[in-house]
Structure 1
Amino acid sequence: MSRLDRLRDRWPISPRVHAYAAWSALVLFTLIIISGAAVRLTGSGLGCPEWPRCNGTSVTPSNGHAYIEFSNRMITTPVSIAAVLCLAFALLRRPYRRDFTVMGALLAAGVAVQAVLGGVTVLTGLNPVTVMSHFLLSIATLVVAVTLVWRVVRERREQPQTPSHDALLVRMTRALTVVGGAVVVIGTAVTASGPYAGGEGTDDTVSRLGIFGDDTFKTVIMVHARIAAVFGVCAVALWIFARLRGARDLYAPLTAVCLAVALTGAVGTLQYHILDYPAWTVWLHVASVTLTWNALVWSYLAAGRAERVAASDDVSPREPAAPREPAAVS
Structure 2
Amino acid sequence: MNRIWRYLSVFATIMILIVVLMGALVTNTGSQAGCGSSWPLCNGEMIPTEAQKHTIIEVSHRYVTGITGIAVVIQAVWVWFKWRSKETRILAVSSVFFLVLQALLGAAAVIWSQSSYVLALHFGISLLSFASVLLITIVVFEKTYWKTGRISFDLSKGVKWNFVLLGIYTYILVYSGAFVRHTDSSLGCTDFPRCNGEWIPPIVSRAGIQYLHRVLALILVIWLIGTLIYLLKKHKDIPLLSIGLLIAIIFVFLQALSGIFIIQTNMMLVFLLLHAFFVTCFFGILVGLTMVTLRKHTK
Whether TM-score is above 0.5 comes out as yes
Distance 1:126 1:298, change over 3 A: same
Q: Indicate if the aligned counterparts of 2:258 and 2:271 stay in contact, CA closer than 8 A.
A: yes
**2:101 is matched with which residue?**
113
Paired residue for 2:227? 238
Note the alpha carbon deviations across 1:124-159, whole angstroms, 9 max, x for none: 245423422222211222232232123223333353
2:170 matches 1:180: yes
C-alpha distance in 1 between matches for 2:244 and 2:98:
25
1:43 aligns with 2:33: no
Question: Does residue 15 of structure 2 align to residue 34 of structure 1?
Answer: no
The 5-angstrom pairing of residues 271-286 of structure 1 reads 271-272=262-263, 274-286=264-276
The alpha carbon displacement at 1:222 in A equals: 0.7
Q: Give the aligned residue type for 1:288.
A: F
CA separation of 1:119/1:214 partners in 2, compared to 1, >3 Å: closer, same or farther?
farther
Q: How many percent of aligned residue pairs carry the same amino acid?
A: 20
In the alignment, what sits opposite 1:226?
A: 215
Q: Residue 225 of structure 2: SS of its match in structure 1? A: helix
Question: Which residue is equivalent to 2:77?
Answer: 88
Distance of 2:177 and 2:80 partners within structure 1: 38
For the 8 Å contact 2:185–2:209, the answer to whether it is kept is no
Kept in 2: contact 1:121–1:131 (CA 8 A): yes
Aligned residue type for 1:29: I
Deviation at 1:242, TM superposition (A): 1.5
- Please say if 1:76 is aligned against 2:65: yes
What is the match of residue 289 of structure 1?
279
1:18 aligns with 2:8: no
Q: Out of 242, 266, 269, which is 2:260 matched to?
A: 269
Write out per-residue CA displacement over residues 252-300 of structure 1, whole angstroms, 9 at most, x where no aligned residue.
320221110110111112223x333334322221121111111111221
What is the DSSP-based 3-state SS (H/G/I as helix, E as strand, rest coil) of the residue aligned with 1:53?
coil
Number of equivalent positions: 276
Residues 214 and 73 of structure 1: CA distance in aligned 2, closer, same or farther (over 3 Å):
farther
Q: Residue 152 of structure 2 contacts residue 297 of structure 2 at CA under 8 Å; is this kept in 1?
A: no
Deviation at 1:164, TM superposition (A): 2.5
Deviates more, 1:163-172 or 1:256-265: 163-172
Shift of residue 96, structure 1, vs aligned partner: 5.3
Cα contact 1:170–1:306 (8 A) shared by 2: no
Deviation (angstroms), 1:101: 4.3
Structure 2 CA distance, aligned partners of 1:27 and 1:256? 19
Change (3 A) 1:214 1:276: farther
Distance 2:5 2:85 in 1: 11
Look up the match of 1:202: none
Equivalences for residues 124-135 of structure 1 within 5 A: 124-125=112-113, 127-135=115-123
Asked if the contact 2:185–2:210 (Cα under 8 Å) also holds between the matched residues in 1, the reply is no
The alignment status of 1:144 with 2:149, answered yes or no, reads no
Q: Residues 101 and 24 of structure 1: is their aligned pair in 2 closer, same or farther, counting only changes over 3 Å? A: farther
Q: Aligned pair 1:64/2:56, yes or no? A: no
CA displacement 1:179-238 (0-9 Å, x = unmatched): 222211111111111168xxxxxxxxxxxxxxxx99442112111101101111221222
What is the TM-score normalised by the length of structure 2?
Answer: 0.82
**Tell me, which stretches of 5 or more residues in structure 1 are unaligned?**
1-13, 197-212, 309-330
Listed one character per residue, the Cα deviations across residues 93-133 of structure 1 (whole Å, up to 9, x for unaligned) are 4x655643443343233333322221111112454234222
Displaced runs of 4 or more, over 4 A: 95-99, 305-308
Structure 2 Cα separation of the partners of residues 215 and 231 of structure 1 = 23
User: In structure 1, the residue corresponding to 2:222 is in which secondary structure?
Assistant: helix
- Say whether the 8 Å CA contact 1:257–1:295 is kept in structure 2: yes
The answer to whether the 8 Å contact 1:146/1:297 transfers is: no
CA distance in 2 between partners of 1:195 and 1:176 (Å): 25
Shift of 1:29: 1.4
Question: How many angstroms apart in 1 are the aligned matches of 2:113 and 2:33?
Answer: 7
Question: Counterpart in 1 of 2:206?
Answer: 217
Letter in 2 for 1:86: Q
Aligned-partner Cα distance in 2 for 1:153–1:216? 47
1:303 to 1:90, Cα distance in 2 relative to 1, 3 A:
closer
- Over the aligned positions, Cα root-mean-square deviation in angstroms equals 2.7
